Amino acid sequence: MNTNNLILNQSSDFIVECIGEVDDYVYDIEVDDNHNFFGNDILVHNSLYVDIDPLMQMYISRNPDSSMEQRVNKADELHNKLIQPAIDNAYQDLHKYMNSLEHLMFMDREIIASSAFWTAKKKYAAVVWDSEGDRVYDDTGHLTYKLKVMGLETQKSSTPPFAQKALKKAIEIMLTKDESDLQKYVKKVKEEYRSQPLDQIAQISSVNGFDKYIDTNLWVTLKGAGQNHKAAAAYNKLQQYHKDLEPIKSGDKIYMLRLTIPNTVGEVFGWPTGTKPPKEFNLDLENMMDLNTMIEKGFDAPLKLMAEAIGWQHEKKASLSSLFEI
């Protein structure tokens, strides 16, 4: 049964519709204090970040021995005394200007962060010291930070597990250390990539649309097939000769490896998540996989985009001038 457009519930007020698997954020309208509101019957989630660094630098210059908690307290005080009243007054003015029946637009402070970067709307990371009044303390009782990551590759289920962990650590370095630290870490990660288990560096994908993109008699892919369809077809083509193994079915999740060409399988190979590649297939995947492409797509490309957002290079580049340095 195709569930991609299945209507699960319907009334005169709303329709609940299955949209299939999506690798993105959704918001639960039943969660209290979730920063959502309805405008023209559309659910809206809004955030606006305000830079108060000039004010904080002034405070720190006058209080150089202040603790991080004291600085966070000062940032919270600035918000309560300056920013929140200005926002409230602006919305009150808007309410009067629009002559609306009732004032229903409110904004509350979400986080206090010491550093952050954005690669696009709703794609960002921040070092958070206070989240809506909640704070985290270490074993010694000192305030510590929590890393907040939204919409970046660390949050996507398709990102290989090893790359997820490595990218999260890289993000933390970008927000708390310097460019040379990041470059050293990237070099270390790339050296460790080859020694990782296959299920840690393989991309994870669901496989839908078998009938549309795969000839299930010959197990070859059709026009418009994605890498996930090719990976599943490659597995099932070999599974035909090993009936004791379960085939990949439409809707299953698979691990997916890119392979170097030429080989006896194809450009990509997959197998069901939660399992290991069948020994019965006699495939030397460790030596068949295209590790450079997997590192590029799973780790390098997303990290490069993040680093460029703050004007950094994630890898140290050789230059002609460096050849003449003594």
pLDDT band at 322; cut points 50, 70, 90 = low
| Whether the predicted pLDDT of 265 surpasses 60 | yes
pLDDT of residue 30: 47
pLDDT of residue 70: 97
pLDDT band at 76; cut points 50, 70, 90 = very high
Q: Comparing 24 with 277, which gets the higher pLDDT?
A: 277
Residue type, 243: K
Lowest mean pLDDT among 26-30, 45-49, 110-114, 292-296: 26-30
Burial call 186-198: b when 16+ CB within 10 Å, e when fewer: beebbeebeeeee
156: burial class by Cβ within 10 Å (0-12, 13-18, 19+)? middle
| Whether the predicted pLDDT of 302 surpasses 50 | yes
pLDDT of residue 323: 56
| Whether the predicted pLDDT of 14 surpasses 80 | no
State the DSSP string of 219-277.
Answer: TEE-TT--HHHHHHHHHHHHHTT-TTSPPP-TT-EEEEEEB-SS-SS-SEEEEETTS--
pLDDT of residue 32: 46
Where does CATH 3.40.1820.10 sit in the chain?
200-291
Using the Cα atoms of residue 301, residue 306, residue 311 and residue 312 in order, give the sign of their dihedral. negative
pLDDT band at 1; cut points 50, 70, 90 = very low
Provide mean pLDDT across the span 214-242: 95
Q: Which residues 6+ apart lie within 8 Å of 153 measured at CB?
A: 159, 163, 164, 167, 302
| Whether the predicted pLDDT of 196 surpasses 60 | yes
| Whether the predicted pLDDT of 49 surpasses 50 | yes
Going by the DSSP 8-state scheme, the letter that residue 289 receives in this structure is B
User: Class of 200-291 per CATH?
Assistant: alpha beta
The pTM of the full predicted model, rounded to 2 decimals, is 0.81
Provide mean pLDDT across the span 204-228: 92
Q: At what angle do helices 301-309 and 161-176 cross, to 10 degrees?
A: 20
pLDDT of residue 163: 97
Lowest mean pLDDT among 26-30, 53-57, 173-177: 26-30
